Amino acid sequence: MKAEVMEVRGLLVERLERRMEASEVPFHPDFKAGCESCPMRGRNFACPPMSPMLTDYVRGASKATVIAYRTPMEQFRANVIMEERYFEAYHMMQELLAEELLTHRKRGRIVAGSGPCRACKECALAAGEAECRMPEMMIYSLESMGVSVVQLSEVAFGITLEWSGMEQGADYVSAIGAVFD
């Protein structure tokens, strides 16, 4: 496993990377059920029911490089509610991850992130359109293709993912993706 700490926009961010067999990525079709209650389901081309199964998407790939960006919540504005701080941190980690994944895609690799695609402010699917406006920028969600990102984080990095809400705060916020080849 590789780990490095960098400064991004005045904040410390940890970048983790682990190369593994693609077959080690925790996949099961039932994991797609985790997307059932998400408000993006059916409103984002990278989410169910539009997303493929991981096995179909990465067909022929034998290796996976799992990448995580994470940052401590304590660095974000203490004067706002926890949920807002969490989403500010999460969107920053997602942006860093998406930028790196798109760089790998330009090199001909297969990429997947976590959470819905954010290439457009509003997905064309939510606007009633039949096709993605920017397919070269779309990043499928690992979860939407049947990957347990919670298990992937534990297998690849030994890290338990945390979430924040109105009553509970996470110590770290993470975004996880993978590059397949």
Residue with the bigger pLDDT between 163 and 155: it is 155
φ, ψ for residue 56 (rounded to 5)?
-75, -40
pLDDT bucket at 168, cuts 50 / 70 / 90: low
Q: What pLDDT is recorded for position 83?
A: 76
Q: What pLDDT is recorded for position 4?
A: 98
Structure-block tokens of residue 126: 């939510």
State percent of the chain over pLDDT 90.
79
**What are the residues whose beta carbons fall under 8 Å from the beta carbon of 166, sequence distance 6 or more?**
81, 82, 83
Domain residues of the chain, as ranges?
A: 2-180
Question: What pTM does this model have?
Answer: 0.93
Q: How many CB atoms lie within 10 A of CB 35?
A: 20
The secondary structure element, H or E, covering residue 5 is strand 2-8
